[in-house]
């Protein structure tokens, strides 16, 4: 099955994004976010929001929850590698990474849950349905008792 050209471009963009992210987080660029007017946490959240969206676009047939875990895994890997290259391992950076991933994942998850509840594929939809019990119409046109 040939890969769509647009999907190929998105995947190439994801690869470029990962290379830039690795260079910025592991290279000698500490303090660059301050020159751009961002805090360190905001820069991490924005970067991992973008990474998550790029992953969602590059792997449309994969579950978003799995892709979100992969994006968070990249954050864990980067923090571990920063400790090895002489930069500081920071749990606050990891929390900001998680916030960025969650900001990208949450809207899709909420909408999927709402759709399931509307379509009746949730476990307790009847209990949560505020419209009341469903009424059936009489087949022969006779009034209901």
- pLDDT tens for 66-88 read 999 999 999 999 988 888 887 77
Mean pLDDT over 88-112 rounds to 91
Specify the residue for token string 């769509």. Answer: 4
Specify the residue for token string 């400790």. Answer: 83
- In this predicted model, what pLDDT tens digit does every residue of 1-56 receive, in sequence order? 566 888 999 999 999 999 988 888 887 777 777 878 888 889 899 999 999 999 99
Cα gap 108→103, rounded to integer Å: 10
Cα gap 78→21, rounded to integer Å: 9
Angle between helix axes 5-26 and 64-84 (nearest 10 degrees) is 30
Cα gap 30→64, rounded to integer Å: 31
Predicted TM-score (pTM) of the model is 0.74
């Amino acid at each position: 099955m040939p890969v769509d050209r647009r999907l190929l471009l998105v995947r190439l963009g994801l690869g470029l994004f990962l290379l830039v992210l690795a260079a910025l987080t592991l290279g000698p660029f500490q303090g660059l976010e301050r020159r751009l007017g961002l805090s360190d946490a905001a820069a991490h959240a924005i970067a991992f929001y973008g990474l998550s969206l790029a992953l969602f676009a590059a792997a449309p047939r994969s579950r978003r929850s799995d892709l979100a875990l992969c994006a968070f895994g990249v954050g864990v890997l980067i923090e571990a590698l920063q400790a090895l290259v002489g930069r500081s391992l920071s749990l606050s950076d990891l929390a900001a990474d998680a916030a960025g991933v969650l900001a990208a994942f949450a809207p899709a998850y909420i909408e999927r849950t709402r759709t399931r509840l509307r379509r009746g594929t949730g476990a307790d939809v009847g209990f949560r349905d505020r419209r009341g019990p469903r009424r059936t119409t009489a087949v022969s046109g006779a009034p209901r008792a």
